[in-house]
Every structure is written in structure tokens, then in C-alpha cells.
């Protein structure tokens, strides 16, 4: 936990056709050999991501991708992965070899970038060679630069250009943005059970603590078993209590009804997803198909314990409160046929970017599939709505 998480880093994705100089450019950005460079087409297969601090851009995750013109069955899979990375990119570097004619795949990339909302920069490589006639005027004026990957420090002009794009990049809100003010006391209830990772806290807890410190707040961190005793001996009323969603019921019972309360997962529903869509999806619980199908989705890999939240606790609660015959599935990747599911219940998505999460939600929304976040479902299951939404006035209003 000593480094900024990938999900909180600015995502820079290199795209282009094979042998355009993407891997050499990545090595120049890092000023070391971070990616394999070869004259053989298709050297880069799976996307390769490395972390770096880039001036005004701060912590960045730079991804080198397979060529957009890759061929064959495996090539199609590689291009598919490249497309996935582009969807979640904050800034795209479109790399094209200056000494070669324009390919149809390059026209496709440029068209998509021009139509899209993502900031991008064109990078014309092989600057030591004569510029091919078709590359003259290929990029709009002011949106590209020419460089020679063989020259030392050749990427510095590109870094300067990326820094100028910093203000154009979309930014996720921080966990407690708009919820607290300087000198506030916030209680963080963090159960340590079998699912808790040894020797550390989970990502939402870590990010929330750091955000509170950045905002000059005080954070009191304790387990649910100590909450009642500490709360009643504080002498001052906390501005907010934030709990792990699994402890919602006990925490609510141990604090006064007028104490503002929410969960880490609900903080991340606002930070990573579309909370209005989640709240709208609650309606589906009132008339759920008797033998409906629910897909529980997670964005990270972890060792599942005997009483795992996604595979055991949520299905158990759902069957108790909604329908005993409901069928459950579990996945860490997008389903091939989303329409086969009547509802999606997704984790807090702390390990992916908001863009990646919103891309998922767009697919489900287009197909009319309701989606809930873990925290919202557990707040509903524990009878804590609208209370758990009250720290977010705009969301409480949507719920009403």
C-alpha cells in the first residue's frame, strides 16, 4: 500500500498499428527498457502496463498495446483487448510511423478519437526518416508532434505536451469529497474478519483515511465490537460514521438514529459508478421474477473464505428477502450475453477506474438490466435506506 493504486492513476494508453514504435516510445517515456522492442510484427501481445510519475499529471499508468492491425484469431483477441484499454484511457497516445503510408486501421483509430471525448495526442515516430506523403496533414494541426525514438530524451517534448493536457483530463471525486470539512471527526468501522487481508486494510479504507487526512480531519479507526464503548465516551459527536457494509446492522444499532451514517461501498458507488442508476435499480427488487437470475460481479481477484460476501452472504440475504428460488452466478469479467441476467450486483469497484466501471454500466443500461452496488443492496437489506444515503443529499432525494 506504499504506492498509488493503478485505479487512482492517470491512464495513458499507447495505440497504433504493429511496428509503429509504441514499445520504443514507452521505453523512452520511462528512460529504461520497460517493454520488449523488436522489428518482428506483433511483438507486443497482451497489454503491458507500467507506473510512473509524470510532472503535473502525477501518478500515471502507461499501457503499451498490441497493434491495431494484428491478424489471425489471436490477433483479433489482442485487438479486442486494445479496444478495452482505450475505453478506460484518460489520455491516448496515437503512434504512427512517419515513413509509412496511412493504413485503414489508422484511419479507423483517428476517426474514433476525433468522435470521442477522450483527450489524445498524435505521435509521429521515425522522425529521422523522410515523412511519407500520406502522413502529411494526417493529424490535425496542434494535436501531434514528431519524434525520433533513437534519440536520448526524445520523449521529453511529448511529456511537456501531455502536461498541457492535464486540465482536460477527467478526475474522479475522492471518497469523502463534499461530505466533510476541516476539523471534522469521522469514525471508520473496519471489521477484521476472515476475509480481511493479512497485515493491511482494504483499498476503500486506505483511500478514505488518506482523503480525511488530506482534508485536515481526524479519523478514529475501530472494529464494530469496540464501537459502542468508544462512541459513548468520545464527548463529541462525530460528523460522520463510515462502516464496512457487512457491519451495517450492528453499527446502526450501536449509535443514535440522528448520527449520520454511510458505508465505504456507498462512497465508492458515488466515486466509481452511477449512483442514480443504482438507486433506480432498487425498484426491480419489488417485483423480481420468482426464478430470476442474478450475476454478482467483482473487479478483483481474492481468496474466497467460507462466508464470502459475494458468493455466500449476498445470495443468502437475497433469497431470504426477495426470492428463495433465485439463481446466482459469479464473475470477474463481463458476461458474453448480459441479457441472460435479470440483475447485476457489483462490488465497490475500487480496483478499476470510473471510466472502466461506467463502460460496464452502459452495456447493462442499454439492455435494461438493473444494477446494484454491494453497499446499496446491503443498506436496503438491513432496512437502512434512506438513512445510509442521507450524507449525500442529492442521492437521498433521488431515493425519495
* pLDDT at res. 140: 92
Do 79 and 146 have their domain in common?
A: yes
Q: Which grid cell sits at 163?
A: 502536461
Range of the domain at 21: 6-168
pLDDT tens for each residue of 52-65: 888 788 889 899 99
Do 84 and 129 have their domain in common?
A: yes
The DSSP code for 116 is S
What is the residue whose three cell numbers read 458515488?
A: 270
Do 250 and 309 have their domain in common?
A: no
pLDDT tens for each residue of 69-102: 888 888 888 888 888 888 888 899 999 999 999 9
Mean pLDDT, rounded, of the chain: 89
Determine whether 200 is exposed, middle or buried from the number of CB atoms within 10 Å of its CB (0-12, 13-18, 19+): exposed
Give the residue from 106, 139, 168 where a domain finishes. 168
Instruction: Output the domain CATH number for residue 352.
Output: 3.40.50.11410
Do 258 and 115 have their domain in common?
A: no
Categorize the per-residue pLDDT at 164 as very low, low, confident or very high, splitting at 50, 70 and 90: confident
What is the residue whose three cell numbers read 459502542?
A: 228
Q: Say yes or no to pLDDT of 117 above 80.
A: no
- The 3-class secondary structure across 242-268, one letter per residue, is EECHHHHHHHHHHCCCCCCEEEHHHHH
Q: Which grid cell sits at 141?
A: 494541426
Do 303 and 263 have their domain in common?
A: no
Do 141 and 163 have their domain in common?
A: yes
- How far are the Cα atoms of 251, 289, 314, 348 from residue 384, in angstroms, in the given order? 11, 24, 16, 18
Do 281 and 263 have their domain in common?
A: no
* pLDDT at res. 255: 97
Do 261 and 304 have their domain in common?
A: no
Alpha helices in 98-168 (DSSP H): 104-115, 156-164
* pLDDT at res. 146: 94
Percent of the chain that is helix, strand, coil (3-state, to 5): 40, 15, 45
* pLDDT at res. 54: 84
Residue 189 belongs to a domain: yes
Give the residue from 215, 243, 268 where a domain finishes. 268
* pLDDT at res. 304: 62
Residue 176 belongs to a domain: no
> Which residue would you say has higher pLDDT here, 275 or 308?
275
Q: Say yes or no to pLDDT of 36 above 80.
A: no
Do 126 and 256 have their domain in common?
A: no
Residue 152 belongs to a domain: yes
- How far are the Cα atoms of 179, 221, 273, 342 from residue 365, in angstroms, in the given order? 28, 37, 12, 12
Do 164 and 27 have their domain in common?
A: yes
Residue 93 belongs to a domain: yes
Instruction: Output the domain CATH number for residue 254.
Output: 3.40.50.11420
Residue 387 belongs to a domain: no
Judged by DSSP in three states, 330 sits in strand
Instruction: Output the domain CATH number for residue 104.
Output: 3.40.50.300
Q: Say yes or no to pLDDT of 300 above 60.
A: yes
pLDDT tens for each residue of 167-226: 778 788 999 999 999 999 999 999 876 556 666 788 899 999 999 999 999 999 999 999
Angle between helices 72-87 and 354-366 (to 10 degrees): 110
* pLDDT at res. 1: 43
> Which residue would you say has higher pLDDT here, 192 or 42?
192
Give the residue from 168, 193, 214 where a domain finishes. 168
Q: Say yes or no to pLDDT of 277 above 70.
A: yes
% of the chain residues with pLDDT over 90 = 66
Do 197 and 163 have their domain in common?
A: no
Q: What is the CA radius of gyration of the chain?
A: 24
Q: What is the mean pLDDT of residues 142-148?
A: 92
* pLDDT at res. 384: 96
Residue 232 belongs to a domain: yes
Look at the pTM and tell me if it is higher than 0.85. no
Residue 322 belongs to a domain: yes
Greatest mean pLDDT among 8-12, 275-279, 352-356 lies in 275-279
Number of structural domains found in the chain: 3
> Which residue would you say has higher pLDDT here, 50 or 192?
50
Do 278 and 371 have their domain in common?
A: yes
> Which residue would you say has higher pLDDT here, 220 or 1?
220
Residue 390 belongs to a domain: no
Report the residue count for the chain. Answer: 400
Amino acid at each position: 500500500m506504499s504506492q498509488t493504486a493503478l485505479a487512482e492513476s492517470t491512464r495513458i494508453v499507447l495505440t497504433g498499428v504493429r511496428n509503429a514504435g509504441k514499445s520504443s516510445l514507452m521505453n523512452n517515456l520511462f528512460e529504461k527498457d520497460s517493454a520488449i522492442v523488436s522489428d518482428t510484427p506483433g511483438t507486443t501481445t497482451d497489454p503491458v502496463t507500467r507506473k510512473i510519475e509524470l510532472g503535473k499529471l502525477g501518478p500515471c499508468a502507461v499501457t503499451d498495446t498490441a497493434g491495431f492491425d494484428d491478424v489471425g484469431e489471436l490477433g483479433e483477441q489482442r485487438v479486442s483487448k486494445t479496444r478495452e484499454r482505450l475505453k478506460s484511457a484518460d489520455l491516448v497516445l496515437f503512434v504512427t510511423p512517419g515513413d509509412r503510408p496511412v493504413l485503414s486501421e489508422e484511419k479507423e483509430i483517428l476517426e474514433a478519437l476525433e468522435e470521442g471525448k477522450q483527450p489524445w495526442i498524435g505521435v509521429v515516430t521515425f522522425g529521422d526518416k523522410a515523412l511519407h506523403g500520406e502522413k502529411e496533414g494526417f493529424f490535425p494541426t496542434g494535436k501531434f508532434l514528431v519524434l525520433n525514438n533513437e534519440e536520448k530524451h526524445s520523449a521529453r517534448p511529448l511529456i511537456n505536451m501531455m502536461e498541457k493536457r492535464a486540465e482536460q483530463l477527467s478526475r474522479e471525486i475522492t471518497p469523502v469529497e463534499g461530505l466533510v470539512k476541516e476539523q471534522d471527526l469521522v469514525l471508520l468501522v473496519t471489521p477484521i474478519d476472515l476475509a480481511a487481508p493479512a497485515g493491511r486494510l482494504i483499498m476503500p479504507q486506505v483511500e478514505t483515511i488518506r482523503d480525511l487526512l488530506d482534508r485536515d480531519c481526524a479519523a478514529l479507526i475501530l472494529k464494530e465490537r469496540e464501537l459502542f464503548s468508544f462512541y459513548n465516551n468520545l464527548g463529541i459527536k462525530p460528523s460522520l460514521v463510515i462502516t464496512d457494509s457487512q457491519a451495517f446492522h450492528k453499527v446502526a444499532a450501536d449509535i443514535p438514529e440522528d448520527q449520520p451514517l454511510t458505508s465505504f461501498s456507498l462512497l465508492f458507488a458515488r466515486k466509481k459508478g452511477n449512483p442514480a442508476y443504482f438507486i433506480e435499480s432498487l425498484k426491480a427488487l419489488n417485483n423480481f421474477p420468482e426464478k430470476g437470475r442474478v450475476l454478482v460481479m467483482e473487479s478483483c481477484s481474492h481468496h474466497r473464505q467460507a462466508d464470502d460476501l459475494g458468493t455466500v452472504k449476498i445470495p443468502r440475504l437475497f433469497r431470504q428477502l426477495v426470492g428463495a428460488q433465485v439463481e446466482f452466478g459469479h464473475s470477474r469479467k463481463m458476461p458474453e450475453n448480459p441479457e441472460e441476467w435479470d440483475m447485476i450486483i457489483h462490488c465497490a469497484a475500487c480496483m478499476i477506474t470510473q471510466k472502466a466501471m461506467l463502460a460496464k454500466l452502459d452495456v447493462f443500461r442499454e439492455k435494461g438490466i438493473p444494477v446494484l452496488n454491494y453497499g446499496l443492496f446491503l443498506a436496503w437489506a438491513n432496512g437502512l435506506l434512506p438513512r445510509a444515503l442521507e450524507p449525500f443529499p442529492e442521492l437521498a432525494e433521488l431515493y425519495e
